[in-house]
Structure 1
Amino acid sequence: MVVMYKLFFILLLLNQLSLFAHSNSRDSIRGNSWFMDVNQTLFLGQWGTNTVKPLPVGTYKNVITHGDGTLKNITLTFDDAPDELNTHKLLDILKENDVKASFFMIGENMRGSNIALVKRAYDEGHLVLSHSFSHPRMTDLNATGMSAQLDRTSQRIEEITGKYPLLFRPPYGAINPLVVDVTNEHNMTTILWSMDSLDWAIDDPKPIVQIVGSKIQSGDIIMMHCNSSSVGALTQIIKNLKEQGYTFVSLEDLLKIKAYRQQLNEKK
């Protein structure tokens, strides 16, 4: 009964969010809230009529939710990496299907045996990007705390891969003017999403496959997580979307932006 109620609530939520043309819940696997905050609601309500360029919506600049929809290109992104149980399984599936993705990494998780997973993801052509150091809600921090989250994670990624990331996804998608301003001051672009797989809320892979397959649009940034639900759903998602004529491309190629700082003298 509890499972049925939860599924009903998720379906109701999807229906409520249909005015945005996609499911865009702001929760991740570690989230507790079921709803988007006011900032995100206002922002995402306008993304559908914009282009791939960084979107100036109110005070938000250099925040991206989707790519160019003129071609049937899409990209996969995974939050909350690396983890010992699921990251290597996702990498195996991506390798088997010749698909490149982006992994938004949590800084404090990139240690011990997980370092090898970070290196593997990078060596196999995936983007290794920032998802903060300790997965806080960035809107709860002051500017100093935000900067520390960005700097510590980027430095750790650089130590492991040799590349300093320029793309950041805030945990829970939580943004406000200060979060965006601090991110911009670090010469980083805020990357959100336009397609939420809801893998953070659903254990059964089948509904996840159905949600992505039925809601997908050209230019979508698909948000998934490093969890068992995504592992169970990923192979079928890739198969279905390829059969629908979609091409999986990297986040860099979809957005026509750089994922890493290329020159040593370029400001961090």
Structure 2
Amino acid sequence: MSDSMRVAAIQLNSVRDVSKNLMKVGELLAEAAGEGVELAVLPENFAHMGGDEQEKREAAEDEQNSPILRFLSDQAVKHDMAIIGGSLLLKGNHGLLRNSSPVFNASGKLLAVYDKIHLFDMDYLGQSYHESGLIEPGSQPLTIDLDAWRIGLSICYDLRFPELYRLHARAGCRILCNVAAFTAVTGSAHWEPLLRARAIENQCYLIASAQFGKHADGRETWGHSMVIDPWGEIVAELPEGEGVIIADLSMEKLNRIRKSMPVLQHRRV
């Protein structure tokens, strides 16, 4: 059993130009690999952000023939590093798209693709988002194993639904992952407390990779990518700007916290 894992959360300000985004992603993955990172996590919409609905439909790819997925696979092999590929748009059913998070191991094998379950529909302070008009919701929670570390996947708005993360904990996860493009208005109020709560209540490490700044469609995202330990302490954070944050996860620390306060064993409902 591997007792530790070095991880990286990558923060971006993605634009409408896929090639520019992938170039930046390649640079930041190389930076992470140079620091000995074993698992790198990208944010939601890392390859394309800021276009209108028609542009998003045109950017969506077939899972079985996706240049972006091939790019991520090649990057994993190049850097001998597992990658959680934030999320990208894949073609779905009934004229809708999928908001999907792919996971590659260090050999470039696609281990799994998680489809976002909870879709972001909001009308608040003049801001309106209706993800359900374009995206079909996923139906299944998804976990993947990297060595001894089981990881529970989630995308952005999923963060507000603690039952999803409890399912991950009950499935044996030691790491929770949220890839996001949280709006600035909701992020400033809720991002950190929700992330810390999910880590604390499930006694898991939590890796959160986010978009930040203003985008072509006028949307402003919050940033503040972070890694949180099972006690709820923030061990790495990038408030704004593009970049990489790195943290070393310790199985010994996680087990010690769970043993000292066995919350998951004390559940009654």
Q: TM-score, normalised by structure 2?
A: 0.34
Decide which structure has greater helix share.
Answer: 1
Q: TM-score, normalised by structure 1?
A: 0.35
